[in-house]
């Protein structure tokens, strides 16, 4: 009964991506769907190793282009070896972050250029884009207050996170039929209901 669909959660630090990914996976599984829940950076052994490099505070000052390439490399492996095979098996794939995180963080906030960074990941993934991306939008001050023990990216200043936030909003505004932007400061249970309704329509459930 499952139709293969690729669903992504995006948003800044502490926006509620992991919470809503897990809630949606539970909801879909309870309705009989095969669901693969994954995350970025990571999702394969090689990509998880790259994640450790990217998030390690010891790598403060990592070159911006090197950072963008590492994210894209991890994504390429993830798309080829986990996401595409699951979609080919007819499963619903839920990813906690994907391509737009690179566009918002490296392209916009680091200033490498949204288009160039998007192209890099499109090349890395062979053009694999989500059917639906849910952007959880929160004021970075609220998101960061929810997160304990900041990692390398979470340690960036508030203005930098504000650019990330605007980056996500601009990406979503450019393709509104493939994005759902939700106010991440709302109660998690309310958000989960709204997301379940939107995804039920997407997967063809009544
Ligand atoms: N809507 C919400 N309202 C209040 N608190 C929330 C909400 N959603 C999640 N939280 C809480 O905020 C914290 C961060 O949530 P979560 O880990 O889901 O965010 P995230 O976007 O995955 O963060 P990160 O960027 O660190 O991975 C958790 O403690 C979670 O329980
Ligand atoms: Mg998370």
pLDDT tens digits, 87-110: 999 999 999 999 999 999 999 999
- How far is the C-alpha of 195 from the C-alpha of 84, rounded, in Å? 23
- With the most atoms of ligand 1 within 8 angstroms of its CB, the residue from 19, 133, 136 to mutate is 19
Which range is least confidently modeled, 57-61, 139-143, 180-184?
57-61
DSSP H stretches of helix in the chain: 17-30, 45-55, 64-78, 84-88, 99-102, 114-125, 140-146, 158-174, 188-203
Residue 55: per-residue pLDDT: 87
Domain ranges of the chain: 5-203
Report how far ligand 2's centroid is from the alpha carbon of 17 (Å): 5
**pLDDT-derived band at 187, boundaries 50, 70, 90:** very high
pLDDT tens digits, 138-177: 999 999 999 887 676 777 889 999 999 999 999 999 999 9
Ligand nearest 105 Cα, by number?
A: 1
The CATH number of 5-203 is 3.40.50.300
Ligand nearest 153 Cα, by number?
A: 1
| Beta-bridge mates of residue 134 | 9, 180
> What is the pTM for the complete model shown?
0.96
């Amino acid at each position: 009964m499952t139709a293969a669909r690729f669903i992504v959660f995006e948003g800044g630090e502490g926006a509620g991506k992991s919470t809503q990914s897990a809630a949606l996976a539970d909801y879909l599984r309870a309705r009989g769907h095969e669901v693969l829940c994954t995350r970025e950076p990571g999702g394969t052994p090689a990509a998880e190793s790259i994640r450790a490099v990217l998030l390690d505070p010891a790598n403060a000052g990592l070159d911006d282009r090197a950072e963008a390439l590492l994210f894209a490399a991890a994504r390429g492996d993830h798309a080829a070896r986990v996401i595409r095979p699951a979609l080919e098996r007819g499963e619903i794939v839920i990813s906690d972050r994907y391509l737009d995180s690179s566009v918002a963080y490296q392209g916009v906030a680091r200033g490498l250029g949204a288009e160039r960074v998007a192209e890099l990941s499109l090349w890395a993934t062979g053009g694999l884009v989500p059917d639906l991306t849910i952007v959880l939008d929160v004021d970075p001050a609220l998101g960061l207050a929810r997160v304990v023990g900041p990692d390398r990216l979470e340690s960036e200043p508030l203005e930098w996170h504000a650019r990330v936030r605007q980056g996500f909003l601009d990406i979503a505004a450019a393709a509104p039929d493939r994005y759902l932007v939700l106010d991440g400061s709302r109660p998690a249970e309310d958000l989960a209901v709204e997301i379940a309704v939107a995804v039920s329509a997407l997967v063809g459930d009544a």
